[in-house]
Copies of this chain bind each other. A is one copy, B any other.
Amino acid sequence: MRIVVTGAAGFIASNLIPRLLDAGHEVVGIDDFFLGKRAYVEALLQRSATRASGPGFRFEEHDLLDRDFVRTLFEGFRPERVWHLAANSDISYGTKYTDFDLKGGTLVTYAVLEAMRLCGTREIVFSSSGAIYGEPTVHPTPEDYGPLFPISLYAASKLACEGLIAAYAHNYGMQARMYRFGNIVGPNPTHGVIHDFVLRLNEDPTRLRILGDGSQAKPYVHVDDCLDGMELGIARGTGPLTCFNLAVADQTSVHEIADGVMRAMGIDPAKVAVEFTGGSRGWKGDVPFVNLDSSRIRALGWSPKYTSGQAVKQATTEAIAVLLKK
């Protein structure tokens, strides 16, 4: 199958693309390296070049806001499916630069959907977020929870993207699988709490600044489990439009993550001066407690290998390996 992956230099795509190549798909990846990393793409190109079946991966460095570029690429490649993973993943950045998620989320998604419509691409896989629930009053939160009042511009953009995808699916005969993630962790991080703690402690192992009061607790899903779930939703989901929560049942606190990162880096937590920025949120727009009901994807057979605690532990090892070359 001919597949386009947006955000191809990002965390999830760099874990996805080897799977797609192994399954024999032909993949074009797009990224502008705003958040994505060149090293991840180079590894993919190298892997693709050494395939027995010939190179199946092509990479385009470009801004997805350029609608003409996206359309022309789609016209040439004629993709049958798009994994639309490109997005800002820094929520607090989007609160400061208020057009950031609007452009990098909503308008980019519009550009992708337009290219699909004009070139006859029928299938889209979209990385949404549990953040669209805002601060829900129901836990665990099911997919049909309402109202959807996001508290960050990041989440507002994800909601806008879901709405666009739903309308395109209805009006132009597309099929969409949308996934509302908890926090995803694993190899090749580009951002996030584990990534940040590893880099900060590597720079100065005597102190660590923690955003909020450290009690924020989220379900961390290992990217392998995440991709298993996404592929299941594609293979077994029905109907033109479905969304799935993708999260494990337990949560890990920022406190626990900090402790685990220190230990994994061989640092005695007792010797680290931990400083808290304070307040229950990591940043304005942060949802401090997340618990998503994932029974819909579990009913299709999803059975994550890692609990949240195990995923964090595994991802900490993987992040240290990638970021510190250890």
Contacts and interface: CB of A to CB of B under 8 A. Distances in A.
Contacts of A152: 167, 170-171
A148 interface: yes
Interface in A241-278: 241, 243
A171 B151 CA distance: 7
15 contacts: A98-B110, A102-B164, A106-B160, A145-B146, A146-B146, A148-B148, A149-B162, A150-B166, A151-B166, A151-B170, A152-B171, A156-B163, A157-B163, A159-B163, A160-B160
Given A98-B117, A117-B98, A156 B167 contact: yes
A75 interface: no
A151 B241 CA distance: 11
A285 B171 contact: yes
In order of increasing CB-CB distance, the 7 nearest A-B pairs are: A146-B146, A160-B160, A156-B163, A149-B166, A159-B163, A156-B167, A151-B170
A157 B147 CA distance: 16
Contact of A144 (B99, B102, B147, B163): B147
A143 B149 CA distance: 11
A284 interface: yes
A164 B156 contact: yes
Q: How many copies does the complex hold?
A: 2
A134 interface: yes
B143 A285 contact: no
A114 interface: yes
The listed residue with most B CB atoms (<10 A of its CB), out of A149, A163, A166, A171, is A163
A320 interface: no
A294 to B, nearest CB: 15
B164 A163 contact: no
A153 interface: yes
Contacts of A155: 163, 167
A323 to B, nearest CB: 31
A148 B171 contact: no
